[in-house]
A = this chain, B = another copy of it.
Amino acid sequence: MSSASDREQAEAHLRAAGLKVTVPRIAVLDAVTGHGHLDADAVHARVASDHPSVSLQSVYNVLGDLSAVGLLRRIAPAGSPALYESRIGDNHHHVVCTRCHAVEDIDCVIGEPPCLIPADTGGFAIHTAEVTFWGLCGDCRRAVADLERLAPADAG
């Protein structure tokens, strides 16, 4: 799913960030782009299918570097390993399923960050606000409903 121009864009981004253009970096960018929220292992798996010689360590290095320069975004919901996504530059948030840890993007109802300015910053110089919603994804909702039909919580 990667065209020549994708690759050229990736190269340009890397150079703009002062990073050398290397096989692992291009491969990681390509693996993450448009594939939702992937952990290091999943990225490695995708990368390895095209470039088996790229090590998991390199994937960790690259993911760290790319996140540091802003070419990827890293999220780390409680209970999940770090996840990486290519959707950057907007300030979207995430829903995480409390049951299966599936992650989806969420746009806040309020485009601008209004609730992202706290009443009292406690002496901190705040530069980022991160919102994580927790809930049940569609599949798990159905699964839970089925379970409760079989074993009701209370016999009212």
Contacts and interface: CB of A to CB of B under 8 A. Distances in A.
Contact of A110 (B78, B97, B108, B115): B115
A132 B130 contact: yes
Contacts of A105: 122
Nearest to A122: B104
A28 interface: no
A1 interface: no
Contacts of A130: 131-134
A18 to B, nearest CB: 13
Copy number in the complex reads: 2
A128 interface: yes
A147 interface: no
A129 B133 contact: yes
A141 interface: yes
A107 B121 CA distance: 9
Contact of A125 (B114, B120, B127, B135): B135
Contacts of A109: 114-115, 117-119
A4 interface: no
A95 B124 contact: yes
A95 B121 contact: yes
B79 A78 contact: no
A138 interface: yes
Interface of A: 74-76, 78-79, 82, 93, 95, 97-98, 104-110, 113-138, 141
